[in-house]
Amino acid sequence: MNQARNRILVLDEDAQELRKLRELLTKEGFNIITAADKETAIELCRHIKFEYVLGNASLLGFSFSDDDNFIHKV
């Protein structure tokens, strides 16, 4: 069985947004791990397999506007 199945890393600087997304996605059956900054997200990805990474694209250095978010299937 794939250990990353249903595991999502949520990345956002806003603690309230992280909490809301964790609550919503957990209710839908996902295993949620959160990170408030790029460095923490990278460290988590080094040690934990994720099915998806969801978050604010600007935190990872993408050249989108600050309002853009992303979902990436790992």
Whichever domain contains 15, its CATH number is 3.40.50
Q: What is the pLDDT of residue 18?
A: 94
Q: For residue range 1-16, list pLDDT tens digits in order.
A: 455 679 999 999 999 9
- E strands, 19-66, in order: 31-35, 52-56
Residue 34 lies in a domain: yes
pTM of the entire structure?
Answer: 0.76
Q: For residue range 14-69, list pLDDT tens digits in order.
A: 999 999 999 999 999 999 999 999 899 989 999 999 998 888 777 766 655 545 55
Q: What is the pLDDT of residue 54?
A: 87
- Number of structural domains (the chain) is 1
Calpha distance 17→47 (Å, rounded): 24
Calpha distance 35→53 (Å, rounded): 10
Q: What is the pLDDT of residue 69?
A: 58
Do the beta carbons of residue 53 and residue 9 sit within 8 Å? Answer: yes
Calpha distance 65→49 (Å, rounded): 28
Residues spanned by the domain of 18: 7-73
Residue 1 lies in a domain: no
Residue 32 lies in a domain: yes
